[in-house]
Chains A and B, each alone.
Chain A
């Protein structure tokens, strides 16, 4: 008898708030992060980066650096051949997209401050860093275009040889697509007899700011070249190495060991990875590069950065009739791996949960001399959700009704599912009424509205605002056929394998490579229930192309809804393979076998065998039916037929100090519908973290450049990441409308909190101030902006492009106490 036999009949793991298996090693750091890897004879790299946003490289003198202690070699672009490879764009959004070549090391021109111009290889990281400061690069500065507003004018060009800053224009029009009416007609009609709301919103630039800086190690000394990288995408990275360097894919092994967060920021094929790979091959020695935090903020890809011009039309009583979106999206200096595709992911979400009869989306992607942008938690969907949820509040104000009422008037009702939207997506399930009713109850909506009225009547210097976000999103990336129709250069399936060991333990291999999400725990729960084995007996293996040979990795809230379904199918194949073996061993007919309580049993008897017992029998293979393979292992590849549509109602109360502009969160409630839940504890963690990241966009985070293209918020002194001290306890709950497109009925939750929370917070701030004539505050809603909105009637104005002086070498180091001359480099 094994422990398995004692398990009760019902599914016991799914729905249980198991603590995460992986936490002990992740939290204590007793694990192998990429930077912990040290190999015999390993060399270390340091990058020489451009201080200028746009400049011609007129000379590079590496002689002093080469003579520095411990230096092995110093390389510039001219020293590499084509085996260095290139950084790829996997999603050209239009056939005529302008896509400048993106070499890992700048050749004769730098296009953003932080771009790599030379590389030092040395025997220690310190020696490499010392020598990097001795590399003398001569630059001839070129005019730089920094802001999106300037770039679209095409006066100063980020890439003069392209002749324009405009990369691609991507359009969706409901009349053309046959999904709805003509938006211009809807707007014209509303202008004469209805309501037209026109707004421009800015999605500021954000920095993913994952906890573990990026790090990469390459060991070229084996038959396969092995690369460890702190990446979200080991499989895609392996493909990119093979596709661009000429090394056969079979000669490359990529490992993403434990990875400390990504938020989309590690969904990239980076110049640094290409450089490490090339130098290791060139020198025949293991090579490591780990970025500093400053480099991470400067040169790892940024997120968001859009300007949204929005026109919403409605009838006089607030029934929406049309939505037109004109979007400029800042690519930075290059089109990154998904690059221009990020805003396009938003194209399908501006209409959100509302029944728009006409819709048009125009997205212009634009180059600037800034760090390149790409996916950041939510990727396109937070921007869309922000726009529509802010607009619905504006419409409610225009009509003069409660913003929840205007939403209810326009949303898809639960009887209408499955519902095909104006953007052409079919939402499979949901219940906006139920989630909203639950959230209102938890929030104490009516009481807070009453308090708001009282404060207004009392002319209280601290006003109260209530913000609403009834969001949905599309996740579970993605049906491969849809990706193909959008010209995305890859698929969206996921792969899983289930292996049985002779002692009856289970190894699960997934192509969804986790970087902190808790896959090991959640996937163990699924398999434990499916196969009737103990949670502790399941080992989840991932992130190594030698073990998990196939996969599309982790992003877009896809792991559970795509990877989890692949896993279910692989486990079911194990059961199918085990069935005739069990029948044979139990001397019963296959037709009499049934799988109950984690055992194959003979119907009507108490005879049965667990999967553990069967795997031992298969290992020995002494007594198998004729023609049956001695192997229970199974694999499955699942390609979803549709996206996955979580939704929820988020309610936020903000106190706004009208004297100082300071805002303070009073209450935050959310009721998310993410279908069936595998592990409530992991879900709560995802929701909490997601909320804080979305709130941070509303209130704190802002990657600011000065006019010359220098990143002003280049450290955590000036790029304000919140900590636990800046947040409150959130009240979270769920309604359950199971997804119909996967067996488990699950929906993704990795990005939901981030997508939903930003507009809830800003709506609350604007709601507090609306009686003062305020109808917008630009993000992040700094105290200064809020104060200016109150006093100047603006949305708060530009952020001054100057850092606080704490670490300014020209001031901080010149005093009598800090005596030495500041500027080394």
Chain B
């Protein structure tokens, strides 16, 4: 498991990183936590000339309070996101989902931005980010731009980040007081989810005032179960409401068929997991 040889550069600022990207372009790959890139290099599925390591850019690490939202730096490690008090208070679904990523070792290396930019539809963070209306902050030669989740995820392993750009952070509108649960379905603990559902809800006086439901590995990108959300909002949080809303979870989904399960099984599975995610988010 020896990668092909490559040159390595470790900038300390975003500007330096962008300059390196501009210089090496097609020949380069960006490494954040390396949890997806390193296996690819070691299996020689890819052999870049240059690896640009973002690990020394301190400004990309940590979570900031920005008033109506929080900003999670792209290079914040999963273990730090999962235990961050701002994330716990204002984006509980992200905290829940991040705590389930792979295993302890991966969570101590892998990063929030790296995982989202990799855009594996089976990754655990895309669906929660999408459900929480996160905005993706992208830096490029012309400065920063902000892209909503629906535009960020463009396809299987494809995002709105273009060749000369970097994802530097993710801005998540505060969902203070929303309860959350991430229901992940795996065969062995360290596996990518066969399917997962993130649900976060705002309930007042027994009535669901807000609902955001994200689906993992049910298509080539993370998905939002808009039909389920609409069926919940304004309703009393009863078992029957939850059950009939969850039955809509597979609408518009296009899940894969692989050795962990065929598409029809996943379409069924997602309805069960959605019901359970909502029920658990409601405290059931």
Contact = CB atoms under 8 A, between A and B. Distances in A.
Q: Do A and B come from one complex?
A: yes
B120 A784 contact: no
Contact of A784 (B2, B5, B189, B260): B260
- Point out which of A125, A712, A799 has the most chain B C-beta atoms below 10 A from its C-beta: A799
B190 A802 contact: no
Contacts of A699: 187
Most B-side CB within 10 Å, residue of A726, A782, A816, A825: A816
Nearest to B47: A824
A721 B30 CA distance: 30
B122 A822 contact: no
Contacts, number: 162
Nearest to A662: B185
A712 B259 CA distance: 9
A809 B27 CA distance: 16
A644 B2 CA distance: 45
B26 A725 contact: no
Given A293-B1, A824-B44, A811 B260 contact: no
Interface stretch (B35-43, B172-180, B228-236): B35-43
A812 B45 contact: yes
Given A816-B161, A822-B46, A824-B46, A660 B192 contact: no
13 contacts: A129-B2, A715-B39, A782-B260, A800-B258, A802-B258, A805-B120, A806-B122, A809-B46, A815-B118, A815-B157, A818-B40, A819-B163, A823-B45
Interface string B131-166: 000000000000000000000001111111111000
B248 interface: no
Contact of B45 (A660, A803, A809): A809
Contacts of B25: 819
A354 to B, nearest CB: 34
Contact of B119 (A125, A713, A721, A815): A815
A630 B272 CA distance: 80
B262 A784 contact: yes
Interface of B: 1-2, 4-5, 25-30, 36-37, 39-40, 43-49, 103, 117-122, 154-163, 167, 185, 187-192, 194, 256-262, 265, 268-269, 272-273
A819 B26 contact: yes
A788 interface: yes
Interface in A129-160: 129-130, 133
B156, B163, B191, B260: residue with the most chain A Cβ atoms closer than 10 Å: B260
A825 B3 CA distance: 13
- Residue from B37, B43, B273 with most neighbouring chain A CB atoms (10 Å): B43
The interface centre, meaning the residue of B44, B119, B268 with most chain A CB atoms within 10 A of its CB, is B44
Interface in A694-748: 699-700, 702, 704, 712-713, 715, 717-718, 720-723, 725-726
Nearest to A292: B1
A812 B123 CA distance: 13
A350 to B, nearest CB: 30
A36 interface: no
A279 B167 CA distance: 50
A813 B40 contact: yes
Q: 9 closest pairs, A vs B, by CB?
A: A815-B157, A725-B189, A815-B158, A784-B261, A809-B45, A817-B117, A824-B47, A802-B258, A784-B265
Nearest to B114: A817
Contacts of B194: 783
A783 B259 contact: no
Contact of B269 (A660, A804, A809, A814): A660
Nearest to A820: B48
Contacts of B157: 805, 811-815, 817-818
A807 B43 contact: yes
A372 interface: no
A818 B36 CA distance: 10
Nearest to B121: A805
Contact of A816 (B5, B163, B189): B163
Given A294-B1, A819-B29, A787 B43 contact: no
A699 B44 CA distance: 31
